[in-house]
Structure 1
């Protein structure tokens, strides 16, 4: 049964022409990719478009996936890049959306503390926010986050440290 297969087995099955293999990967990662895109864009519409674009790009480029990193890390990078591309396409005069990113698919958004953290996180510079989301919220290692973002590990560490310090200051009064 495909659902019991590893990511690597599903990638190989897709390459061999199994029409259902990528669907299993999609089901396995859609919610996680939605959360990453939503935290990156802070806009449900942009996030939905980024996830759709990201999965389409992954489907089309799965042949080029070398397996140097885990499939989930590669997919994260594809979706985050898609989300960042969407943000870059905003006109310079357009404001970044300030939506409440609480979503029924994100169970953590049920508490006031999580909402406060999310509001504070949205105020951080993009680089710090992305590093904190990947490392602290998505559980990627510093190495995986660095690979994912195409930056040095030291940069990830320093952005996380600065972001955590800034968050602590913003949340101290709450």
Structure 2
């Protein structure tokens, strides 16, 4: 794929294939089908990883490992429809492993925050950048499990049941982690209200 061109595999002209069909084809050795899955989900997995790890390089490594591992273990996936949940679970678990392996104070990649709109007033752009930096710092104050649950719910829109499957907890525990994360973040972000 040169020059940024993306080739999409279609069932009928103009209709992209669903995930389950692509997973089935990839399991049968169709590399192009797997490439479509990677293109479809690498952005979501990267956003989750960079917010959990606060470091672009580590997040890139995690996402690369997740997709490489998924390709190698595709045969082990029992339900083709559960591929996305499998990716979220793998990404979350790898991020949690990286967090556990880090020294107590890791460097923060301050460039992970998205830049404000370019057409905004400079003072407004500076305020938004400061707010994003404060939110990222507040996220670092959460436990790894709270951060994972909060990000999966608030940023990625996953249900409590899905999050429970991803992090290996029941939905009640997930709700508790998210509630504690929300309370802590609200307290930390009071100056920005």
**Fold match (TM-score > 0.5):** yes
Distance 1:83 1:55 in 2: 14
Matched, 1:117 2:128: no
- Assess if the C-alpha contact under 8 Å between 1:7 and 1:25 holds in 2: yes
Structure 2 gaps of 5+ residues are 1-7, 11-15, 116-124
Matched, 1:31 2:43: yes
| Residues 68 and 11 of structure 1: CA distance in aligned 2, closer, same or farther (over 3 Å) | closer
Structure 1 gaps of 5+ residues are 105-109
Task: Decide which of 10, 19, 29 is 2:22's aligned counterpart.
Answer: 10
| Residue number in structure 2 paired with 1:107 | none
Equivalent residue pairs, number: 167
Q: Deviations over 1:112-171 (max 9, x none)?
A: 444433332222121211110001111000000000001111110001011111111111
TM normalised by structure 2 equals: 0.79
| Residue number in structure 2 paired with 1:48 | 60
| Residue number in structure 1 paired with 2:147 | 129
Distance 1:127 1:89 in 2: 15
> Following TM superposition, by how much is the alpha carbon of 1:67 offset from its aligned partner in structure 2, in angstroms?
1.8
Distance 1:69 1:157 in 2: 25
- Assess if the C-alpha contact under 8 Å between 1:55 and 1:79 holds in 2: no
RMSD of aligned Cα (Å)? 2.0
| Residue number in structure 1 paired with 2:86 | 74
| Residue number in structure 1 paired with 2:167 | 149
| Residue number in structure 2 paired with 1:160 | 178
| Residues 58 and 146 of structure 1: CA distance in aligned 2, closer, same or farther (over 3 Å) | same
> Following TM superposition, by how much is the alpha carbon of 1:69 offset from its aligned partner in structure 2, in angstroms?
6.0
